[in-house]
Chain A
Amino acid sequence: MQDRNQAHRIRKRISTALTLLALFIIMLIICVPGLWIVLNSFRPTVEIMAKPPVWTPSFTLEHYRAMFGGAGEGGVPVFAYFRNSLIISVTSTLIAILIGMAGGYTFARYRFAGKSSWFVGLMIFRAVPGVALSLPLFIVFARIGLIDTHLGLILVYVAMNVPFTIWLTDGFFRQIPKELHEAAEIDGCTRWQAFWKVEFPVARSGVASAAIFAFLTSWNEFALASQLTRSVGSKTMPVGLLDFTAEFTINWGGMCALAVLMIIPALILTFLVQKHLIAGLTFGGVKG
């Protein structure tokens, strides 16, 4: 009996140790590539390029100074790119949320013929690969003069984000009992009022997470943006990363600095909604 207990305890300890080891390796693989970028944005180019490698990093703000300084070596119009990214992402997110919320509400509350086909039909539009879409969009936009404009990219991102927003908000509206808006209507609200006064406040966190998801998609998109933008007036940050590449060389330090600038807003937003985001995806999917 004593022996069996001891064997059991040892086995338990080994399994705990293995779990911790696995966790450590997982975290290492997830974190190191990202941190490597952050670290290198603070290292002088000579050190990044050193052969044999320098393992004790020194600290410099050279890349950030060059990036924000504008002209000169590594002079990339970061502020213009940041502004473009911000304008395009925020506007397209707002529009996509309004349209998508209307759609999500429809799927959650109304019954109509061919409902699931409509749903899958809309999702299919989201599944069209960006590269495949960029070829015809490029030609069409060139004809109507939407190439290299904010409006062009905003339109594209709205269309890209609407289906997914519908999916997410649908899940959240479904969680709200129907009795809630029925009660409001009995009290004399119109359906419109009932939605904004009763249902929207309840689903607000879900809508917020859908918004952040849409924002991140637009913020990070490259395949379409790289073809539909040309100049400083409309290029977004992911396209701006390419400014650090030349024919055969890449300014790694500068690129890492811009990358850090790109990640920070995404990081903050993801932190804010992580809980709601998971809830939204699973409710939308499992109970949908």
Chain B
Amino acid sequence: MRMRRLPEWLVLLLPAIIVTAAVVLIPLLFSLYSSFTPYKLTRPSTLWIWIGTLNYEKILADWNFWSAFGRTILFLTVVLNLELLLGLGIALVINRITWGQRALRTIIMFPMMFSPILVGFQFKFIFNDNIGLVNNTLQSLGISDAALPWLVDAKLAMFSIMFAEIWMSTSIFAILILAGLYAIPRDPLEAAEVDGCTAWQKFRHITLPFLMPFIFIAMTIRSLDVARAYDIVQIMTGGGPARRTELLWTLMSRTGYVDARMGLANAMGYVSIILSIIFTVYFFRKLSAARNELGMGG
């Protein structure tokens, strides 16, 4: 007797499903379980003690966790919005230039090649209070006498890591929005000009709606790896000094690897995972809505 054959699409999709399930799903299920135990790496037997939602209660009552959580949300909001605005600005500027488009496009993609950890070190170096490029420039130009503590002061440190993150990730917005600008049909813009629209009206009512799907693609791609910011922050400040730049991710890795409290760290991990998933699903829905609006769905 022959076995019933699987449908073709499932056969083709199966390797992808198996790999992601094996490498991501199984560890995640394990971490879900361990987040309900007091698991400590140093004492393996603690894995078998069930403590229910105690870990979650503990982090929900923990002020450090909430401030890291709030800071992460703030960080992502500021960074993503600025990246979008700057990316849009850069794309509009480059679109106006009529020469050397290809070279300019390549230069914009420059930061995309950098490893996030490298970006971290690079800006740790540049913002170094003693020998960094920024302070050296400020002092040599006589703008500031004292060395500014870029990575030590709470506000300045937050600014520095945001700057690094924006430097690294704005290019994806710029490059995709630029691709959108190239694809805009000329006719409606010319018609608007004949009808006497101002530049702002043209931008607001023709260019921007057309760019929306491109903006959502960029947002969706970004939402897939917002946590790359961990590499930068870990290197630049490590969440310090004195937790002033602590984000959810740095707090989690410290709890897990330095304090070896895996159960607690995994509970935090789940909060961050859910955060990322909400982001991704939200932008995917926005993306398909924008597509349908332009009649490109299907």
Same assembly:
yes
A221 (CB) vs chain B CBs: closest residue: B115
Q: How far is the CB of A175 from chain B (nearest CB, A)?
A: 13
- The verdict on A103 contacting chain B, using a C-beta distance below 8 Å, is yes
Q: How far is the CA of A137 from the CA of B253 in the complex (A)?
A: 13
**Interface 1/0s, chain B 30-45, versus A by CB < 8 A?**
1100100000010000
**A102 CA to B9 CA, complexed, in Å:** 9
Chain B residues in 8 Å Cβ range of A266: 113-115
Contact of A129 among B41, B94, B126, B276 (CB under 8 A): B276
Can you name the residue of chain B whose Cβ is closest to the Cβ of A128? B273
- Shortest C-beta distance, A34 to chain B (Å), equals 6
Is A26 an interface residue when CB atoms closer than 8 A count as contact? yes
Q: Which residues of B contact A136 (CB under 8 A)?
A: 27-28, 30-31, 34, 266, 269
A238 within 8 A of B: yes
Q: Which residues of B contact A51 (CB under 8 A)?
A: 130-131
Residues of B within 8 A of A288 (CB): 291
Asked if B194 lies at the interface with its beta carbon under 8 angstroms from chain A, I say no
Whole-angstrom CA separation of A270 from B108 in the bound complex: 12
- With contacts A162-B16, A270-B113 taken as known, whether A286 is within 8 angstroms of B227 at the C-beta atoms is no
A188 at the interface (CB under 8 A from B): no
Q: Which residue of A lies closest to B8 (CB)?
A: A110
Does B24 contact A130, Cβ atoms closer than 8 Å? no
B107-127 CB mask vs A (1 if < 8 Å, else 0) is: 111111111111001111110
Bitwise, B64-90 to A at CB < 8 A (1) or not (0) is 000000000000000000000000011
Instruction: Assess A112 versus B9: contact at CB under 8 Å? Given A52-B139, A162-B16, A285-B287.
Output: yes
Interface stretch (choices B50-58, B154-162, B175-183, B184-192): B175-183
Q: Is there a chain A Cβ closer than 8 Å to B23's Cβ?
A: yes
Q: Say whether A60 faces chain B, with CB atoms less than 8 Å apart.
A: no
Whether B97 is near chain A, meaning CB under 8 Å from some CB there, is: yes
Task: Report the Cα distance A106→B31, complex, angstroms.
Answer: 31
Q: How far is the CA of A158 from the CA of B123 in the complex (A)?
A: 30
By a CB distance below 8 angstroms, the chain B residues around A163 are 16, 20
A100 proximal to B (CB < 8 A) = yes
Taking CB as reference atom, which chain B residue is nearest A268?
Answer: B113
| A166:B117 contact, CB within 8 angstroms | no
B273/A125 in contact, CB under 8 A: no
Q: Does B142 contact A (CB under 8 A)?
A: no
Chain A residues lying within 8 Å of B26, measured Cβ to Cβ, are 140
Q: How far is the CA of A122 from the CA of B284 in the complex (A)?
A: 12
Q: Which residues of A contact B118 (CB under 8 A)?
A: 37, 220, 238, 241, 259, 262-263
Chain B contact surface mostly = helix
A263 & B113 in contact (Cβ 8 Å cutoff) = yes
Interface of chain A, main secondary structure: helix
The answer for the CA separation of A281 and B180 in the assembled complex, in Å, is 11
CB pair B16–A103 under 8 Å, yes or no, is: yes
Residues of chain A contacted by B216 (CB below 8 angstroms): 285
User: Given A49-B131, A286-B214, are A120 and B281 also a contact pair (CB < 8 Å)?
Assistant: yes
Q: Evaluate whether A128 and B276 lie within 8 angstroms (CB atoms) in the complex, with A29-B167, A223-B230, A241-B118 already known.
A: yes
Q: Could you tell me if A159 and B106 are in contact, using CB atoms closer than 8 angstroms?
A: no
B150 within 8 A of A: no
Interface residue range, chain B: 35 or more
Q: Which of B94, B105, B253 contacts A274 (CB 8 A)?
A: B105
Establish whether residues A278 and B176, one from each chain, have CB atoms under 8 Å apart when the complex forms.
yes
Size of interface on A: residues with Cβ below 8 Å to B? 89
A222 touches B130 (CB 8 A): no
Asked whether A140 and B30 contact (CB < 8 A) given A30-B110, A33-B126, A159-B24, the answer is: yes
Chain A 59-71 against B: per-residue CB contact (8 Å), 1 yes, 0 no? 0000000000000
Say whether B165 faces chain A, with CB atoms less than 8 Å apart: no
Instruction: Determine whether B220 belongs to the interface, using a CB cutoff of 8 Å to chain A.
Output: yes
For the complex, is B223 an interface residue (Cβ under 8 Å from A)? yes
B residues near A220, Cβ cutoff 8 Å: 114-118
- On whether the beta carbons of A129 and B28 are closer than 8 Å, the reply is no
Interface string of B93-111 (1 = CB under 8 A from A): 1101100000011111111
Q: How far is the CB of B95 from chain A (nearest CB, A)?
A: 10
Contact in complex: A286, B291 (CB < 8 Å): yes
State whether A19 touches B27 (Cβ < 8 A).
Answer: no
| B24 and A135 form a contact (CB under 8 A) | no
CB 8 Å contact bits of A87-117 with B (1 = contact, 0 = none) = 0000000000011101101100010100010
- Given A33-B122, A33-B126: A131 and B253 interface contact (C-beta under 8 Å): yes
Q: Does B203 contact A (CB under 8 A)?
A: no
Nearest chain A CB to B282 CB, angstrom units: 11
A19 x B93 contact (CB < 8 A): yes
Complex: A122 Cα to B26 Cα, angstroms: 14
CA distance A84 to B223 in the complex (A): 29
Q: Which residues of chain B have a CB within 8 Å of any CB of chain A?
A: 7-10, 12-13, 15-17, 19-20, 22-28, 30-31, 34, 41, 89-90, 93-94, 96-97, 104-118, 121-126, 130-131, 133, 136, 139-140, 167, 171, 175-176, 178-180, 183, 213-214, 216-217, 220-221, 223-228, 230-231, 249, 252-253, 256-257, 262, 265-266, 269-270, 272-273, 276-277, 279-281, 284, 287-288, 291, 294, 296
10 example contacts (A-B, Cβ-Cβ < 8 A) are as follows: A110-B8, A124-B280, A128-B277, A158-B19, A238-B115, A238-B118, A263-B114, A282-B217, A286-B213, A288-B291
4 A-B pairs with least C-beta separation: A129-B227, A285-B217, A220-B115, A136-B31
